[in-house]
Amino acid sequence: MNIDLVLAAQVSSWLDQDPDPVTREQLAQLWQAAQSDMSALLELQDAFRGPLEFGTAGLRGALEAGPNRMNRVTVLQAAAGLATYLVEQGFAGRPVTIGFDARYNSEVFAKDTAEVLAGAGLIPLVFAHVVPTPVLAYSIRHQGACAGVMVTASHNPPQDNGYKVYLGDGRQIVSPSDVDISNHIRTIGDVRNIPHSTEIAIVDGKVISDYVASTTALIDSGPTTIAQRNSIKSVYTALHGVGWETLCAATRASGFQDPIAVNEQRDPDPAFPTVAFPNPEEKGALDLALDLATKSGADLLLANDPDADRLAVALPDTSGTWQALRGDQVGSLLGWWIIKRAKLTNDKVAGTFANSIVSSMMLEQIARAEKLKYENTLTGFKWVSRVKDLRYGYEEALGYCVDPQSVSDKDGISAALMFLELVAHLQTEGKSPWDVLNELALLHGLHATDQVSVRVTDLSQVGTVMTQLRTNPPKTMGGLKVDQIDDLSEGFAGLPKTDAVIIHLGGSSEIEKARVIIRPSGTEPKIKCYLEVVVRNSDLAIARVRADNELQELARDAQPLLAEGK
């Protein structure tokens, strides 16, 4: 089997410079297999197809050899490119904070990054142990850093890792910074020529204590008493991630009971042995926690993803059956509560409420009803966090920013405490979050959401789907007429251009309006389709049936659109 000379040279160069004996051996074996095995050759070609690009959440990829994978060579090049960019921006001699989670190689990648940044004349501040992503985001402004790096793949499978970059404002990078950094990375050659230094400062525990104190101050400013908070019984799972210690410290300092931990998932474990995918949105991920919540008689269940920047919530309904809330439900409840708690403390809510385009339209209704500013953003918290005067922002994928003055990113720990506070207050009124969701549905219409996605094996399939959708768009979906199609690749409502299409559907006698959004995932090889139906009816039971039926019809009609590339 013939292997082209360019690929052969790339493999040889990689084997020469890779400092990791594990990935060197893996690549050597793959190279040998590719001489006679077509599947091995295809895998090799994909590994060297091109460098990883900064996506919605920075770099992410499988832990293997090659420029299209996550490994020490890739990280060293990324760190060198980032260092060049920061020095070019005039930040030589300034600190850069570096955090890491408990995934395979995370600490190694953090150390490599620190040594490269130090070699470039920057001052790396590296956490001594694993930390949640929100703590890293908090530490950037708290320590006056010019940038921050978090080594994490968030909720991706165990074989992945990633690299999230923030600038000095504590927000994730966007264009043109991401493009400039990528361009610098491409200029980095053999990693053995990158200057290194071991002049590294270690971040002590005070930063985490300060983060906990900041989160506690947020709750102390609210309307609940310590006695009310202490009455709430919660179950918590970290999904084998790094959230437990920080969340427990924050709940304790805020006067809540210690959550009842799902012990099998409490401590960090990069193998994620009890879940197929360490994502609280995935089916089965919360099974152990739901079982414990049922047995313990808890008031609510809280779950963080492995790096604790996302929050999932489950509650018992009126029949005692536990149900996980959708991200849009949690997002609407937290938005409602931020307004409500301000009224209860005679405070004024100032600033802007925001969520991403793929999130529910309910938050806009809540904000407008209170005459508050509202903005829609592109998908990804790097956009939500950049809303001017942000007061509260969320995205449907379980990301919530309830305290932007402290953390300009999604934060699953402060959001968990805010939701605990919400439940504590509602219990004093003999109510539950379900009651609030019903009140919001009666006031603004029932906003029902769902999602359909297709995982692809070849990224070219994504382009085929999106091209077909633009050239041959549907005329109807779910029995509703297509009123308007917004192609975000051409720009829309002042938003930056992005690869997404919004299909607006007209209403019917039963449905006020509906919307379908299709976009490629920024973090996984998927095409995602977001569905929303708005139904107004004073009988919410009837409204839910109508909304569920319509969502099923929309999902049915969306599947062929997503499968075009297969």
Pairing type for strands 260-261 and 446-455 reads unpaired
- Compute the distance between CA of residue 52 and CA of residue 32 in angstroms, rounded to an integer: 24
What tokens were used for 451? 């999602």
* Burial (Cβ within 10 Å: 0-12, 13-18, ≥19) of residue 346: exposed
What tokens were used for 11? 């493999």
Question: How many other CB atoms are there within 10 angstroms of residue 79's CB atom?
Answer: 31
- Compute the distance between CA of residue 340 and CA of residue 346 in angstroms, rounded to an integer: 10
Out of 139, 154, 234, 356, pick the active-site residue. Answer: 154
- Say how far residue 459 (Cα) sits from the centre of its chain: 21
* Contacting residues for 351 by C-beta, under 8 A, at least 6 apart: 372, 373, 389, 390, 391, 392
> Please, where are the H alpha helices in 254-361?
263-266, 287-296, 327-344
**What is the chain's length?**
566
What tokens were used for 203? 């971040």
Would you give the DSSP letter of residue 259? P
Residue 254 a catalytic site member: no
Question: How many other CB atoms are there within 10 angstroms of residue 526's CB atom?
Answer: 16
* In contact, 354 and 375? CB cutoff 8 Å: yes
Q: Which amino acid, one-letter code, is at 551?
A: L
- Compute the distance between CA of residue 480 and CA of residue 506 in angstroms, rounded to an integer: 6
Question: How many other CB atoms are there within 10 angstroms of residue 295's CB atom?
Answer: 10
* In contact, 386 and 423? CB cutoff 8 Å: no
* 3-state SS record for 276-300: CCCCCCCCCCCHHHHHHHHHHCCCE
Q: Which positions are annotated as active-site residues?
A: 154
